[in-house]
Amino acid sequence: MVNKVSIGIIGIQGAISEHVSSMNDTLESVNNPGKVIVIKDPLQIDKIDALIIPGGESTTISNILFQSGFYKPILKKINENNLPVMGTCAGCVILASVLIENLEEVKLLSAMDMKVKRNAFGGQKESFECNIRIHRFLKPYNAIFIRAPIIEEVWGDCKILAKIENNIVMARQDNFLALSFHPELTNDIRIQKYFLDMI
């Protein structure tokens, strides 16, 4: 891990402050004097060592990112510096390369070899929490799903890290981590630590 990391959190929509505080807790827990930056300007992308795309509405977030000129610097930093990116919920949708529905509505970053279905468990009322088993985590993880997507299929170098029954809910490909749930809404920082180890 970099000695003093700068972690950027896309600051358009979603649980931004929760991501900031859980990443700050994580940095503190590993004694990393790094900082967490809320990203509101494409010029900030060059200054970060890792990026988090939070949940929210993938249509809104991706279109604002695209129209405000974020995609070019993000993709450049991915290609030239292997920028680690964690996408949670809507962020997971944006990292995918194939969508099952709403093909035109979401601007995909196409970073990961996975096919994603939005709102796959239903609407807001079908939001839920459950214990999942995550690859190499010793104890179960209580995951919070809010209008969550499902990763329907992975291929190439994309590896499944967690499933609920037959539904993939967490995957990793190289420096990219996609979760269909919200790690920032629990006090368990094991996923944030896992992401820090990818930097």
* Residue with smaller CB distance to ligand GLN, 5 or 141: 141
Tell me whether residue 89 is one of the annotated catalytic residues. yes
Q: What's the closest the beta carbon of residue 75 comes to ligand GLN, in angstroms?
A: 20
* Catalytic residue chosen out of the listed positions 19, 57, 89, 92: 89
- The DSSP line for the chain is --SS-EEEEE-SSSSHHHHHHHHHHHHHHTT---EEEEE-SGGGGGG-SEEEE-SS-HHHHHHHHHHTT-HHHHHHHHHHH---EEEETHHHHHHEEEESS-TTTS-----EEEEEETTTT-SGGG-EEEEE-BTT-SS-EEEEESS--EEEEE-TT-EEEEEETTEEEEEEETTEEEESS-GGGSS--HHHHHHHHT-
184 catalytic per annotation: yes
Nearer to ligand GLN, 27 or 95 (CB): 95
- Smallest separation, CB 1 to ligand GLN (Å): 27
Q: Which is nearer to ligand GLN, 83 or 148 (CB)?
A: 148
Instruction: Give the shortest CB-181-to-ligand GLN separation in angstroms.
Output: 9
Residues forming the site for ligand GLN (CB under 6 A): 55-58, 89-90, 93, 118-119, 146-147, 149
Residue 80 is a catalytic residue:
no
Decide whether 100 or 199 has the Cβ nearer to ligand GLN: 100
CB of 50 to ligand GLN, least distance (A): 19
Question: Rounded to whole angstroms, how far apart are CA atoms 75 and 86?
Answer: 14
Instruction: Give the residue numbers annotated as catalytic, written as ranges.
Output: 89, 182, 184
